[in-house]
Amino acid sequence: MKFGPVPVAEAAGAILAHSQRTESGVIRKGTRLSQADVESLRAAGIAHPVVARLDPDDVHEDDAARRLAEAVAGAGVTRDRADTGRANLFAAHNGLVAVRAADVDAFNAVDPALTLATLPAFQRVTKGQMVGTVKIIPFAAPETSVAAAIGSLNGGILDVAPWRIRRVAAISTTLPSLKESVIDKTLSIFDRRLADPGAVIASERRVPHAVEPLAEALRDAVAKAELSVVFGASAVVDAHDVIPAAIEAAGGRVIQVGMPVDPGNLLVLGEIGGHPVIGAPGCARSPKVNGFDFVLDRLLAGLTVTPEDIMRMGVGGLLVETAVRPRPRRGTMEDGKAEHPAAIILAAGRSSRMGAVNKLLEEVGGRAMVRRVAEAALASRAGPVVVVTGHEAERVAAALDGLDVVFVHNADYPDGLSTSLRAGLGALPPESDSAIILLGDMPLIRAGDIDRVLAGLGRNGALIAMATANGSRGNPVAWSNRLFPELRATEGDAGGRALLSRYSDSVVDVEIGDIASLDADTPTALAAVRARDAG
């Protein structure tokens, strides 16, 4: 392919490299120029347009993308029409992505002009979801490269395996120390895990945590379901422990004990006459993604899981939900108590619900409400006190004149609360082991309330302490620095709400009364706050 500027008189039949605006409209890049296009370019004063001319052995980008996409697509994958050198691949049905990573690497190594990108292997997808894309970088590719890339594939390498297993047996072992309510919650979470793949709990039993009762339950489950999952009352610590021993006692075999995924290390995989059995790790009682999901999804899609498959799960096997796991055998996390807490006041918003005024500058008891919040924070044991500004930053700063606070401006405040949270965390000194997040529109908060919430950190291992109003969660919220990386990664206006679900077992509620719910973000709410303050 020849590429570069040519005299406009010689451009007919060539491919325009860059979009050009003319009196007749925009001629888009990639357009094969007609004589009329050439005249439009001439009239626009473009004397030497940059174009591409294909050599005899070149394949046009759309033809190359189409041929390569056809070669990549395997079972359960459809493709759309190639356009501008791109052909997208889609799931033909709900299921699990299966992709041969080594073949993708081989494809992409043929020629930098030919690219293939796919979703991660073994990701759940729904019908119509994009699972891969072929993109040709230049306007054409050599026939030799296209043929070599197709030859590297050895057949379709991107499949969507449909969900095949519909009936699952759930067996829970019991010990006196395990509450029935824990088993009930585990089964409810498991039922939700099965919902997207279209499977159901077809059989449910609870038996003592011993080899013979469990073996008998497994033999019964084989006749009632296509897959059995055992939720043990005690974690598996040896290949001869209760769950693997029961699989063998039921006439089956143990395929694998343990996996390089955390959470999920203590998973057991076995089979009884071709019927797969999973001994679920303790983390399977949580809705958070863990190693259990890695194996469960493959089995639900009818895929074989070998010991080699499991041992290859180590890369990517250290999951993000690990902030609570640095010392898994400690009974408490007393060292999690806040020794060097900071305070972050969010004061960047536009007060859209308040109308034309900036709510943070409205007075309560003769002082701007944001100043009252800052004064309470400064009187608490938190320090430094960081104020994140955005909308009307100068006016907010003026309202805090004379206070020993650290200002950080968030230019991205229109993009949501998470941007202010990220800016505030970025301004904290390295020694800050925690931060309490305060809203600038809660002027009735007191230093004692802030200190009580901070004292909740570390209680029973808590990484999050939330103020409550008569049992209902509100603000402020204190966070251990173990969660700072994940707080910084939040998007939009969600703030830390997603983490509250992820770390539900590490949240402690701290009752401070109705002050936790009194934010003055509307004229009616502001009137109520003023009345409460005056009373």
CATH number at 167-311: 3.40.980.10
pLDDT confidence of residue 11: 87
> Which three-class secondary structure state does DSSP give residue 206?
strand
Q: What's the rounded Cα separation, in Å, for the pair 376 and 401?
A: 15
Q: Are 89 and 68 in contact (CB under 8 A)?
A: no
pLDDT confidence of residue 213: 98
Looking only at the bridges linking them, the beta strands covering 124-125 and 95-99 are antiparallel
Each of the 535 residues of the chain gets a pLDDT tens digit; together they read: 788 898 989 888 888 888 898 888 889 888 888 999 888 998 889 999 998 888 788 999 999 999 999 999 999 999 999 988 999 999 999 999 999 999 999 999 999 999 999 999 999 999 999 999 999 998 889 999 999 999 999 888 999 999 999 999 999 999 998 889 889 999 999 999 999 999 999 999 999 999 999 999 999 999 999 999 999 999 898 999 999 999 999 999 999 999 999 889 999 999 999 999 999 999 899 888 899 999 999 999 999 999 999 999 999 888 854 444 444 433 333 445 788 999 999 999 887 777 778 999 999 999 999 999 999 999 999 999 999 999 999 999 999 999 999 999 999 998 888 899 999 999 999 999 999 999 999 999 999 999 999 999 988 778 999 999 988 899 999 999 989 988 888 877 666 776 787 787 789 999 999 999 988 888 999 999 999 988 7
pLDDT confidence of residue 335: 47
Q: Which strands make up the sheet holding 167-174, listed edge to edge?
A: 200-208, 167-174, 227-231, 275-280, 268-272, 253-257
Q: Are 458 and 338 in contact (CB under 8 A)?
A: yes
CATH number at 58-162: 3.90.1170
Q: What's the rounded Cα separation, in Å, for the pair 119 and 105?
A: 14
H-helix or E-strand containing 306?
none
Name the maximum alpha-carbon separation found in the chain. Answer: 90
Q: Among the CATH numbers 3.30.70.1450, 3.40.50.300, 3.90.550.10, 3.30.70.270, which is that of 334-534?
A: 3.90.550.10
Q: Where are the domains of the chain?
A: 2-53, 58-162, 167-311, 334-534
Residue 51 CA: distances (Å) to CA of 13, 14, 31, 143, 291: 10, 6, 10, 20, 52
pLDDT confidence of residue 494: 66
Q: What's the rounded Cα separation, in Å, for the pair 515 and 364?
A: 14
pLDDT confidence of residue 320: 57
pLDDT confidence of residue 535: 76
pTM, two decimal places: 0.61
What's phi and psi for 483, nearest 5 deg?
A: -100, 0
pLDDT confidence of residue 125: 94
Q: Among the CATH numbers 3.40.50.720, 3.30.70.270, 3.90.105.10, 3.40.50.150, which is that of 2-53?
A: 3.90.105.10
Q: What is the full DSSP assignment across 15-49?
A: EESS-EEETTEEE-TT-B--HHHHHHHHHTT-SS-
Of 68, 109, 108, 105, give the one whose Cα is nearest residue 86: 68
